[in-house]
Amino acid sequence: MPRILLIVLFMLALSACASSALVTGTPRAPIDPSQVRVYYAPPPGRYEEIALLDTSSGAFTYGEQNKTNSVVAKLRKEAAKLGANGVLFGGTANGYGGGGVSVGAGGGRIGGHGFSSGGIGVDISPQQKYARGVAIYVANPPVGDSAPAPQSQPEPAPQPPPER
C-alpha cells in the first residue's frame, strides 16, 4: 500500500509541473534561465523562432500574481533548455474548475442489517493559469528593457499666492 501511495504522489507532482515545447527551429546549447528575456512584442531586428511553448501554473499555486510569475518563469526555463535567449510572450488563459462542494449519500442492506452513510467533499484547489510563448533567439538583443520607458511630465512651476 505505501508503494502505491508513493507512485500516486509522484505522478501528481509530475502533472503539476507540466510544460511542453514543440520544436520548430534549430535548438542551441542550453543557457541559464536568467539570461532569457521576455518580450511582449516582437523585438526590433531579426530573430529566429526555436519552439512553441505551453505551460501551466501548477495545481497548488494561489494568487493571480503568483500564477503569472509561475508561468513566466516556466516559459523562461523551457526556452533556456533550448538555448533561446528570448520568449515572445503569447498571453495567458485561466483553466476550468477551481473549487466546489459535493454531497453524497448511500445506503444498503447486507445479511439482514441495514446501513447508511453520507459525506461532503470540498475541493479547495485553485484554478490554474495557462501560458503560451515562442522561444526565440535574438542575434543582437536590445540593451536595457524591451519596453520603452514611460515619458515623465515636467513639474509645473510654483505659482505665487493670489493677491487680495
Name the residue among 139, 151, 17 with its Cα closest to residue 78: 17
pLDDT tens for the chain, residues 1 to 164: 566 655 555 454 444 456 788 899 999 999 999 999 999 999 988 999 999 999 988 777 788 888 899 999 999 999 999 999 999 999 988 877 656 667 776 777 777 777 777 777 776 667 888 999 999 999 888 776 544 333 444 445 556 666 65
Bridge-based pairing of strands 37-39 and 100-110 is unpaired
The set of residues, in sequence order, having a beta carbon less than 8 Å from that of 121 and lying 6+ positions away, is: 101, 102, 103, 104
Residues 46, 26: Cα–Cα separation, whole Å: 15
- The domains of the chain are located at 11-97+126-138
Listed as own residue / partner, the contacts of 13-18 with beta carbons closer than 8 Å and 24 or more positions apart are 15/59, 16/58, 16/59, 16/60, 17/58, 18/55, 18/56
Give the number of other Cβ atoms within 10 Å of residue 118's Cβ: 9
Fold of the domain built from segment(s) 11-97+126-138: Translation Initiation Factor IF3 (3.30.110)
> Nine-digit cell at 65?
500574481
